[in-house]
Amino acid sequence: MERKNIENTTVHVITSLSSYIMTIRDELSIPYDLSPIQSRIIFDLNAHPSSKITDVCKRLSKSTNSISPLIKRLENKGFIERKRSNNDARITYVSLTQKSLDFIKDLDNDIRDYTEPMFKKLNDEELNKTLDCLIRLREVIKE
């Protein structure tokens, strides 16, 4: 297979796997009374603690008008805290509460229950190669 086809196929495989994981995460968020976008906000804040609301909006490619009400609902449900900047009252930071951290831990365990049978079909060498390649791709993305 020529390189261009390998690259295209790789992108399609990554997209498919990502969609699979996101679908599982979205479905598992329902019992916590969280919409898919609310769950994405929580996971974004887990990756970027104590962020400005505008930064969350940029990372999720959403407008402030669409994210602000969701953040308010997450705050009302006890998943996040909002704090005004001491230096500039126009800036609001959001961070996760213990309830969110517990949710993430529970969801990670639940997702593992879904993915474990898939990984059991790979032998140790295949699993290690897969992990090595994914780690390398993540490093390339960050460069």
Query: Where are the domains positioned within the chain?
Result: 3-142
Q: How confident is the model at residue 27 (pLDDT cuts 50, 70, 90)?
A: very high
Q: How confident is the model at residue 142 (pLDDT cuts 50, 70, 90)?
A: confident
Query: Which contiguous run of DSSP H or E holds residue 93?
Result: strand 92-96
Please give the model's pTM, rounded to 2 decimal places. Answer: 0.81
Fold of the domain spanning 3-142? Arc Repressor Mutant, subunit A (1.10.10)
Predicted pLDDT of residue 91 = 87
Statement: residue 97 has pLDDT above 90: yes
Token representation of residue 136 = 């390398």
Of 97, 106, 91, 83, which is closest to residue 41 (Cα–Cα)? Answer: 97
Distances (CA, A) of 128 to 34, 123, 138: 34, 9, 15
Percentage of the chain surpassing pLDDT 90? Answer: 80
Q: What is the dihedral of CA 105, 63, 83, 108, to 10 degrees?
A: 0
Q: How confident is the model at residue 72 (pLDDT cuts 50, 70, 90)?
A: very high
Predicted pLDDT of residue 84 = 87
